Amino acid sequence: MQKLTCAIVGASGYTGLDLTRLAARHPQLKLVALLSDRWAGEAAGDRLPLSGPSAGLRYGALSEASAVEAEVVFLATPPEVSVELVPRLIARGLRVVDLSGAFRLADKAAYPTWYGFQHAAPELLAEARYGLPELNRAALAGARLITNPGCYATATAMALAPLVKSGLVSPDGVAVAAMSGVSGAGRKASEEYSFCELDEDLRAYRLGRHQHVPEIEQTVKRYAGRCGPISFVPHLVPVRRGILATATLRLAEGVAVRALEEVYLAAYRDEPFVRVLPAGQVAVKDVARTNRVHLGVAVDARAGAAVAVAAIDNLVKGAAGQALQALNAAMGWDETSGLDLVGG
């Protein structure tokens, strides 16, 4: 079988590292280029436990990204970098999977508010396909530009969308508290992310202004047909990887927890990476280093609320693993291809 050649731009970040490991063992991909200014000139096998031809690849500079020779390019780059690179790569006829937020929002007017820049390629926003297969599989077939979902958005939208669509909960008044491991902040050296600042601490950040909020609302509305404004509070916790998102929704009168569980089971029954559990059993440690999503839902009868809980690994299902799953879907391959042996 002829393999699809692929390149990874931004290969030395946490997401880029996981992408490299996964792509190197994917049966339908041939890794031909890795770009990183930090490691330019070094062999990939000196940085990662790789074998075969992938280990002999040498990292190139990011300046080579526009001219990279591959059939599919993964961009593990900041959104302001991706928004410049994607049009050049698409113009050359390449397939692109962008792991930044540069093409996630359909409305170009939203970018100055949520990402801090005017969108430089608004003509591609309509072409970009949102790479969350469980909620958007039909749109991915043959996609030329895949925009990979955010990690918080993946966990939260998968918890909310089926419940909102069912009509058993209200699409308004949704409140989400989500906790992420430190790797979600990227691989950078700064005082606020140092061990002494993070250890034995827990903090909320970017209240009311996290860039994943409009993405979550957009995704739920696309799937469920409706979604009110969501109150979203992210928290940083002193673990390496993982996300736990807890959403509180107004519950229709008389709805039992079993009815809500049946909504999840019906929505995700055939999904290889999704497992529905009692809400109290959803835990980050069970999904770490996997492409799995664990979901649960409970009823707080006294408050008239449903409480939905989701756990993912922010670097795998929240980034690198999902990028490969979405590419698999776009190419018509088995979605578990290259991910079937990714275990905790």
pLDDT tens digits for 135-172?
A: 999 999 999 999 999 999 999 999 999 999 999 999 99
Residue 68 pLDDT level (bands cut at 50, 70, 90): very high
**How high is the pLDDT of residue 190?**
67
Per-residue pLDDT, 188: 59
pLDDT on residue 54: 95
* Cα–Cα separations (whole angstroms), residue 335 to 2, 56, 75, 95, 162: 18, 28, 20, 17, 21
Does the pLDDT value for residue 309 go beyond 70? Answer: yes
Exposed / middle / buried, residue 56 (Cβ in 10 Å: 0-12, 13-18, 19+): exposed
The CA distance from 103 to 86, in Å, is 9
Q: Inform me whether the pLDDT recorded for 341 exceeds 70.
A: no
Closest residue by Cα to residue 265 from 256, 253, 274: 274
The mean per-residue pLDDT over the stretch 294-306 comes to: 97
Q: Is 6 a catalytic residue?
A: no
- Is the pLDDT at 296 greater than 80? The verdict is yes
* Domain 4-127 in this protein, CATH class: alpha beta
pLDDT of residue 67: 96
pLDDT of residue 181: 85
Q: What is the pTM of this model?
A: 0.95
CATH 3.40.50.720 in the chain is located at 4-127
Residue ranges of the chain assigned to CATH 3.30.360.10 = 152-314
Could you please state the CATH topology (level 3) that the domain comprising 152-314 is classified under.
Dihydrodipicolinate Reductase; domain 2 (3.30.360)
